[in-house]
Amino acid sequence: MRSEEGGGQAVRQELERVLSSAGFARSERLSRFLRLVVERHLEGRDAELKEPLIATEIYGRKPDYDPKQDSIVRTEAGRLRARLLEYYAGEGIGDALIIELPKGGYAPVFRQQEAAPKIQEAAPKITDDQRKARSKWLWLAATLVGLTVGLAAIGWWRLQHKSTPISIAVLPLENLNRDPANDYFADGLTDELIRNLSIIDGLAPRSRTSCFAFKGKPRNVREVGKQLGVDYLLEGSVLRAGQQLRINAQLVRVRDDSPIWSFSFDRELTDVFAIQDEISRGIVNTLRLKLGGGRRRYETSVEAYDLYLRGRAQAVRRGGSSIVESIELLEQVIAKDPSFAPAYGRLAADYALRSVFFPFDDPAGGALPVR
């Protein structure tokens, strides 16, 4: 589509529709990413749409940004493409114009959405052209039915012949701040990584309880792997200094104590969600797995996420006063971001614990029984 005159106006109207949708309204940086590439394209400045520009203007990277060392733009571009597909499959299904971001570049493409064929009113006589059109649609419908049946058969076969999942354990990330008050952050990231890996088809991560049994203890990879009964261990460390975050991660094969993937992330604290995704993707790519279609990535502000991790840390302590404090922190999270679903899940669990163990009394002075 030509971007001049009316075309540019139509594109900008469509851009505003997309950005006001639920999927984009809760993601400020993806919205800024999309607005940047669309506006630069309409201004005829496609040559500027490179990773360094996007990294510095949207993600706050320094002018010496090196895309070979930091894949934030490529990762977020993939998320942007997926978010656009979700929009046009849902809220934007009836939009006349479609905005796309083709793979291999950052210049958007605009195209008209094909209108659905109109159903003609009943006529006393069917013409030859109508018969041909009807035959064509019947053939297409039959083909789609056949394809659906075929895919269902393949899915059934795969379920019947599903291979044994790969066992993995995420050991508690080491808090390099050396301040126990910051343990909640490292422990929270460990929990999130376990959760992220648990929804990847082909992986069988060990539970938090099993993994945290090794927190703060000297580790022999083969011995730990033997006790947990896993093929791989993910270990690492966290260093938080103000708004700066450094995370080191390493995937180790237990049988020969061999590191098969490692990476160091030096990022802003606001990139914590992207880091979690990149670690998961690094493990998936290394083990030749596929990310399942049911994965859901949650987003929120850094302040709300920090409160969420503090709430989880209190809940894990299982004391009565800790449950009360966890509930208060999680309610603050929800007040700041009502769309952050994990906070509701954790809050429901806390209320359930309080109702079971303290149904009548104030739990502030009690302690939950150890199971």
Average pLDDT, the chain: 78
**Cα–Cα distance, 317 to 353 (Å, whole number):** 12
pLDDT tops 80 at residue 365: no
How are beta strands 244-253 and 203-205 bridged, if at all?
unpaired
Strand ranges for 66-148 from DSSP E:
97-100, 109-112
pLDDT in tens, 319-328: 567 778 888 8
How are beta strands 203-205 and 109-112 bridged, if at all?
unpaired
Ranges 73-77, 100-104, 324-328, 338-342: which has the least confidence: 338-342
CA distances from 245 to 66, 77, 122, 185, 364 (A): 18, 22, 67, 11, 34
Q: What is the pLDDT of residue 217?
A: 83
Q: Is 175 helix (H, G, I), strand (E, B) or coil?
A: strand
- Which has the higher per-residue pLDDT, 91 or 355? 91
Q: Is 257 helix (H, G, I), strand (E, B) or coil?
A: coil
Q: What is the pLDDT of residue 298?
A: 59
- Which pair of tokens denotes residue 73? 């733009």
Which fold would CATH assign to domain 166-286?
Rossmann fold (3.40.50)
* Residue 3 banded pLDDT, cuts 50, 70, 90: very low
Please return the burial class of 72, using the count of CB atoms within 10 Å of its CB with bins 0-12, 13-18 and 19+. Answer: buried
For the chain, give every domain's residue range: 5-111, 166-286, 302-365
* Residue 368 banded pLDDT, cuts 50, 70, 90: very low
Q: What is the pLDDT of residue 33?
A: 93
Mean pLDDT of the region 62-85 = 86
pLDDT in tens, 122-138: 444 556 666 656 666 66
* Residue 370 banded pLDDT, cuts 50, 70, 90: very low
* Residue 367 banded pLDDT, cuts 50, 70, 90: very low
Q: Which of 82-91, 114-123, 346-355 has the highest mean pLDDT?
A: 82-91
Q: Is 360 helix (H, G, I), strand (E, B) or coil?
A: coil
**pTM score of the predicted model:** 0.45
pLDDT tops 50 at residue 121: no
Q: Which residue in this structure is represented by tokens 């033997």?
A: 226
pLDDT in tens, 232-268: 999 988 888 877 888 888 899 998 888 888 888 788 8
pLDDT in tens, 25-72: 888 888 999 999 999 999 999 999 999 999 899 988 888 888 888 888
